[in-house]
């Protein structure tokens, strides 16, 4: 009777030890996964691009729509450095959608440092970069435009477009612009959007 009880007790202790080991392993795995998810979520919120101004370019001679849109960009406060070559631009406008990587190999996308040495990498919140997106190259070929379409892809009076910048961390900055109606030509070729 005593030996049977001892065997049952040892078996219960072994089962409890195995169950405790499984629970400890599961808890460790969940903790690691939670830390990773927390870091990714923090990066999505914190590592973001800020848009300081948006201007559109049009031809003074015909004032027939916006041919280029220029954004002045910088980092949000507290953001880690952002390499613009790894940022994706999504566009939705009256002439259709487009998605492009901001690599400086496409004539439809150009960026230049306003201050700072390297335009492709924003390293602190004081640096500014101008990003210019060509909607219509005015030559009639549209070979070097965001949409690469035949015919005019200019933004006309009263038309709206949405631009979304997505960093490699997944953070997004959405900019919606609407062209003035009427679009009045003055002594410059830029209009604030």
* Cα→Cα distances 4→9, 12, 13, 17, 40, Å: 9, 12, 14, 20, 54
Provide the residue-wise pLDDT of the chain in tens; the chain has 193 residues: 678 888 888 889 889 999 999 889 888 888 888 887 776 666 566 678 899 999 998 876 665 788 899 999 988 888 888 888 888 999 999 988 988 888 765 677 777 766 555 557 888 878 888 888 988 876 666 667 888 777 778 898 899 999 999 998 888 999 999 988 887 766 567 788 8
State the pairing for strand pair 88-93/82-83.
unpaired
Residue 36 half-sphere exposure, CB side, CA atoms within 13 Å?
A: 6
Predicted local distance difference test score (pLDDT) of residue 100: 87
CB 104 within 8 A of CB 85: yes
Indicate the pTM of the whole model.
0.72
Predicted local distance difference test score (pLDDT) of residue 142: 66
Compute φ and ψ for 23, nearest 5 degrees.
Answer: -65, -40
Return d(Cα 30, Cα 125) in angstroms, integer.
35
What tokens appear for 174 in the block? 């959405």
Return d(Cα 128, Cα 53) in angstroms, integer.
11
Predicted local distance difference test score (pLDDT) of residue 143: 66
């Amino acid at each position: 009777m005593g030996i049977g009880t001892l065997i049952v007790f040892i078996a219960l202790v072994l089962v409890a030890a195995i169950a405790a080991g499984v629970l400890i392993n599961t808890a460790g795995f969940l903790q690691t996964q939670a830390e990773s998810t927390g870091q990714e979520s923090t990066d999505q919120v914190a590592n973001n691009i800020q848009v300081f101004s948006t201007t559109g370019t049009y031809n003074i001679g015909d004032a027939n729509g916006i041919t280029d849109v220029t954004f002045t960009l910088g980092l949000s406060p507290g953001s880690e450095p952002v390499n613009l070559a790894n940022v994706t631009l999504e566009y939705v406008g009256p002439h259709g959608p487009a998605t492009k990587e901001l690599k400086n190999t496409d004539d439809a996308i150009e960026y230049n440092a306003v201050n700072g040495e390297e335009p492709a990498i924003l390293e602190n919140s004081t640096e500014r970069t101008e990003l210019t997106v060509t909607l219509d190259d005015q030559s009639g070929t549209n070979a070097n435009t965001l949409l690469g379409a035949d015919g005019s892809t200019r933004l006309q009076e009263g038309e709206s477009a949405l631009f979304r910048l997505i960093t490699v961390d997944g953070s997004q900055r959405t900019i919606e612009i609407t062209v003035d109606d009427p679009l009045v030509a003055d002594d410059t070729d830029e209009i604030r959007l």
